[in-house]
Amino acid sequence: MTLRELEYLIALADHRHFGRAAEACLVSQPTLSTQIRKLEETLGAPLIERTPRTVMLTPFGEDTVERARRIMREVAEIRSSALRSLNPEVGTLRLGIFPTLAPYFLPHAVPRIHTQFPRLETLLIEEKSDALLARLRSGNLDAAILALPVNDDHLKAEFLFEEDFLLAVPGSHPLARRRSLTLGDLDRYDLMLLEEGHCLRDQALDVCRLSGASERTSFRATSLETLRQMVGAEVGITLLPELAALYPASGDIRLLRFDGLSPNRRIGICWRTGSAMGALVQNIADLLREVAQELLAGIRRSPTA
């Protein structure tokens, strides 16, 4: 059994087609087919069911593919570790981040990463949290910035910062005259929220449950920017994380803080336990924490937030 044979099997599982799998592996279809048969002979059991139109994995094949993926991830970690041992800050960092944080944090963080690690190429992937976790577990990401907690024994998490939620209301709204408010002040109002799949939606729903507020079910936004612009257009009110206050929206918007224990979200960076990138990610975490502290300190000094 060879690593190349495992690579071919994984490609076949991904594409479910000999021709496309061979193309992805940069070999001919007969070569890939021969190597798969050789692997089956070595293992002594069939891996796939061959039909005229499609490729189906046998139960043993499905199990073998999952084991093969783990083996290939370990091999990639060994190779990465070898490179990192020569120079920990050279290579590519595949970093994921969720969309309700990315546009407000990355423009400040990425230049600092480039300055501190000039020979490190940062490949950024913006996805919803569930997709980021799947990519991280499969080895397609080196690290991901996520809302905490993340409950996974195979991942390490490093706390970065905590940001409060602000209530965004139009300038004409009755609450706009307030300097601050409590959660109880929301019990008569409906909040515009994001669509399903955003971690910010779940966090905002927690606030609704605590305050007695309701969701405005007639509208669900696909992005945080849509919510901000809808507030500016006097369509409704919503919750925004603090870093979103860095960027003004069109229209007259007031951002109100909560008195006492403010609703908030905790942000961290996660990576696989035992990853060769662990030491580098720890250094990146220190830098990101510093950037966030500077940004939040500036926002909290502002009279408008």
Residue 55 has pLDDT above 60, yes or no: yes
Task: Measure the CA–CA gap between 234 and 236, rounded to whole angstroms.
Answer: 6
At 188-243, the pLDDT tens digits run 889 999 888 788 888 888 888 888 888 888 888 888 888 888 898 889 899 999 99
3-state secondary structure of 277: coil
Residue 299 has pLDDT above 90, yes or no: no
Instruction: Please state, in angstroms and as integers, the Cα–Cα distance from residue 247 to each residue in 21, 164, 240, 244, 255, following that order.
Output: 45, 16, 11, 6, 12
Q: What pLDDT score does 87 carry?
A: 64
Average pLDDT, the chain: 88
Q: What pLDDT score does 108 carry?
A: 95
Residue 304 has pLDDT above 60, yes or no: no
Q: What pLDDT score does 30 carry?
A: 92
Instruction: Please state, in angstroms and as integers, the Cα–Cα distance from residue 16 to each residue in 54, 70, 109, 303, following that order.
Output: 6, 20, 40, 58
Q: What pLDDT score does 106 carry?
A: 95
Question: What is the pLDDT averaged over residues 14-21?
Answer: 88
From the list 234, 232, 200, the residue with the least C-alpha distance to 104 is: 200
Q: What pLDDT score does 135 carry?
A: 92
Task: Measure the CA–CA gap between 214 and 235, rounded to whole angstroms.
Answer: 15
Q: What pLDDT score does 287 carry?
A: 96
Task: Report strand pairing: 180-181 vs 55-57.
Answer: unpaired
At 133-151, the pLDDT tens digits run 999 998 889 999 999 999 9
**What are 214's two structure tokens?**
């309701």
Count of all residues that appear for the chain in the document = 305
Cβ atoms of 258 and 163 within 8 Å: the answer is no
Q: How confident is the model at residue 26 (pLDDT cuts 50, 70, 90)?
A: very high
Write out the H or E segment, with its range, that includes residue 96: strand 91-97
Q: What pLDDT score does 36 carry?
A: 92
pTM of the full structure: 0.72
Residue 305 has pLDDT above 60, yes or no: no
Q: What pLDDT score does 88 carry?
A: 60
Q: What pLDDT score does 102 carry?
A: 94
Question: What is the pLDDT averaged over residues 121-136?
Answer: 93
Task: Measure the CA–CA gap between 109 and 284, rounded to whole angstroms.
Answer: 10
Residue 85 has pLDDT above 70, yes or no: no
Domains, the chain, ordered by start: 3-83 (1.10.10.10), 92-305 (3.40.190.290)
Task: Measure the CA–CA gap between 292 and 298, rounded to whole angstroms.
Answer: 10
